[in-house]
Chains A and B, each alone.
Chain A
Amino acid sequence: MTEGATTGTAAGLSAHGLVRRFGGATAVDGVDLTVPPGRITALVGPNGAGKSTLFDCLGGATRADGGRVRLDGRDITRLPDHARARLGLARTFQQPAVFPGLTVGENVRVGAEQRAPGTVRGLLGLPAAGRGAARTATTRALRLLGLEGVRDRPAADLPTGALRLLELARALAADPRVLLLDEPTAGLDTEQTDHLAAVLRALAAEGLAVLLVEHDAELVAELADTAYVLAAGKVLLSGPARTVLADERVAGLWGAR
């Protein structure tokens, strides 16, 4: 099979036979997974199951040792993470990763303005192309997550919950087609969690493909359409979220945690 070959017109993100090894250990062992547009897909599993490694392989932070990753039918297996991001694949991190040297607004702006080129223009002191669009996208993302009031504050000053929202706002400002969220509700209070769930539902309804790693089983049951259970690097089972979570094997895994 040649590079860049498409299999059908599968929209959203999909992985086929993904493998990632560290030395002798296989963290991700032949995972097949689809994240269709308009749906929320959840990835659950005990600690050490390989969820974060799988996430890194999908997002491009690490290169998979085997298998394929496709975004809207296009083979992106060999693309680095920034190139994937520019194609519409946005992600957040388990440890909220924001830029403390920038304000809240600037943090989001970084996400919004990476698609348009402009290094030479920037060096010459000229405004970057697509500046207006980036500004609009920034404002929209800030408003969506209720961060408008702290737009000009240093990002370093925010509490953990707000940092998660800020990270999500940065991801959304890039106008992504696929969103990968690593434990998006960790550190959020119930009110923020509810708000986040509502935002995610609305985004999915708009046609966004969402994949989330989540420990809160209730939230997964309530929010996700499909769930994948990962154990020891392999997909143990997958299907409609409620059915999967009700499975006794899964209960055993969660109990073991």
Chain B
Amino acid sequence: MPDTLGLGLDLLLAGLAVGSAAALSGVGLIVTHRATGVLNLAQGAQAMLIAYLLRELVVVRHWPLALAAVCCLLIAAPALGVLLEAAVFRPLLRRGAGPAETLVASVGVFVLLIGTAVLVWGTTPFGDAPALAPATVLARPGGHPLRLDTLTQLAGVLLLTAAIGLADRYTGLGVRLRAVVDDRRLAALTGIDADRVSAFGWAFGSFTAGLVGVLLAPYLLLDPYGLPLLVLETMAVAVAARLRSLPVAVATGLALGVVQSELTRWRPPGQLLPLAQALQANLFVVALLVAALLPWRTALAADRGLPVPYGRTTSAGVRAACLVLLLLPLWFRADDLRHALAVPALALVLLSTVVVTGYGGQVSLGQAGYAGLGALGTALLVSGRVPGLPALPAVPALLLAVTAAVPLGLLTGWPAIRRRGLALALTTLAVGTALSRLVFDQPYATTGLDLGRTALPGGDRGLYAVELLLLGAALLLVRNLHRGRLGRALTALRDQQSAASAAGVDVPRLKLLLFMTGAGLAALGGALTTLASHSFDPNAFDPVRGLLWFAAAVVAGVDSAAGAVAAAAALTTLDTLAGQGVSAVVVGVGAVAIGRLPGGLAGLAGRRRRPPRPVLGPLGRRVRARLTGGGAG
């Protein structure tokens, strides 16, 4: 027994290290949100960037660790925060943008920073990220190693939280922050320097992000995707605290870290073992999902959606250009055609964002999860891995997988009935992350799912034709959804949910329809992706990819189906020709600038539907003739 107890203590100490970093991430997110009203999804990317910077200074340029750490954490990280505030978020908030808009901007920053890191440092993972404090064992009380890094980390988090709490209570800073978030203009009128207050919030949030990155980097291989994803998962902490309570965040973070660590010695027999291992490896994801799905009581649950300019229609020219763009690859050489196969598939995934977020106003960051479900389902069916079913040919497998994915739209559709704005965005992100980690990134899905050369008449050309056919059918469905009675009801839902409901629109049903349609479209896109690449790649549908796709759809014009098609073509072309990272930078820059470009690029290309100009009737013409005649005569 003492042995078990001893192991338990060791694991507890190990868990505190990860837990305190998670707690810190939650504290940073909450402080930024409280100070600026922005839910900073980009936090993970900031963390990654600062971690890269520290490694660059210490490992490549051989700076002393202390100097490099001061430069990164106390200068570079706050400067990044201030820069983001001044360049991206201040213009948005001054204009009175809602949380959904600032959320999109933060997604843009996320994508942009990741793209930048890929361009600067490449995607090769580094295993030599420097640790801030050495892992020297300070003491061995009862034989358990008490390490310096764990202790400093834990002490740092607790001190920082206590300091924020004290500043909140005794300096009136908290009141000023609250005032700025609630009503920036009013706060400015009462003599509060709103810009300074929110710049401070960003500087602090960025500092904690950097600290989180630097603390977590030594635990994993440093690459542009892993750390942001990990920090995204630690959002469980902030979500559990409902973006408010710092003590709850710290307690949740530490508890999750310890439980995750303790779970490593839980080895249930037989069938349960893989499940236990999945739970252990993904405890933060499970917590994020649970925390997001529990009822939200705060005001976060009732926010506005994304603003979309009135009645903009895509011009016939743009539509024709899209059509030509899509038909062209049929005459491509085999190599180029293979790349082009990704376009209709990606267009379908982006189209699902257009439907859910653009038409219905429900911010959904989890569409990549549905794409992955379609892809995985198709792969399983084609390779004959579904019990009770023979290996199916490509097209029936695809249709069956998509049909199965449609009701799964309820995973986000059901929570969406009672949520809006940030709460909904977080819930959909949690569902997407959970699907990616718990369903796609599991041994059964990652090993031996080879689709081989699935028989489609005409090979790649045949597949491309099938893709075009399905995309055409989907576009038709989407057009029907956006016209007539359904279209009006959707616009009403997007613009004023309560008024739509009062006018008799069955809002819950409409939301379910919306999310199920979105799930079906995304699943179709994912299924085609898998057929085109002859394999299932779980990383192709992770939440980071999902955020990139979301940002791309918004930049292209979130309520524009043609924009989605064009964006898919542009993204694929950039990825093929320019190499990794460029598309992320392009999309990120666009999403960051979206505040100045409501309606996205489609808004520029499209023409605004103008009300008909008043025309003179017969009497008017007679009067005018008389007047002009009289003037001349």
Contact = CB atoms under 8 A, between A and B. Distances in A.
B491 A102 contact: yes
Contacts of A81: 501-502
B310 A100 contact: yes
Task: Please tell me the size bucket of the interface on A.
Answer: 35 or more
B503 interface: yes
A110 B489 contact: yes
Given A110-B489, A153-B611, A154-B611, A82 B499 contact: no
A192 B575 CA distance: 60
Contact of B491 (A101, A111, A114, A124): A101
A91 B502 CA distance: 7
B258 to A, nearest CB: 35
A85 B494 CA distance: 19
* Of B496, B500, B503, B612, most A-chain CB atoms within 10 Å: B503
Among B489, B494, B513: residue with most chain A CB under 10 A:
B489
B476 A125 contact: yes
A102 B496 contact: no
A47 interface: no
Contacts of A100: 310, 495
A106 B500 CA distance: 12
Contacts of A106: 488, 491
Contacts of B507: 82
Nearest to A111: B503
B310 A152 contact: no
Nearest to B513: A119
Contacts of B505: 82, 110, 114
A110 B501 contact: no
A217 interface: no
Contacts of B480: 122-125
A99 B491 contact: yes
Interface residues of B, number: 34
Contacts of B611: 103, 152-154
Interface string A160-177: 000000010011001000
A125 B482 CA distance: 10
A114 B493 CA distance: 13
A214 interface: no
A118 B506 CA distance: 12
A239 interface: no
A82 B505 CA distance: 6
B486 A123 contact: yes
Contacts of A171: 503
Nearest to B310: A154
B140 interface: no
A63 interface: no
Contacts of B479: 125
A127 B485 CA distance: 8
A156 interface: yes
A90 B486 CA distance: 20
Contacts of A118: 485-486
B405 interface: no
Interface in B10-42: none
Contacts of B492: 99, 102, 110
Interface in B465-490: 476-477, 479-481, 483-486, 488-489
7 contacts: A61-B498, A93-B499, A99-B500, A102-B491, A113-B488, A119-B486, A174-B504
Given A99-B492, A154-B311, 19 more contacts: A82-B506, A85-B503, A97-B496, A97-B498, A97-B499, A99-B499, A101-B310, A101-B491, A101-B495, A103-B311, A110-B489, A114-B504, A119-B509, A122-B486, A125-B476, A127-B484, A152-B612, A154-B310, A167-B499
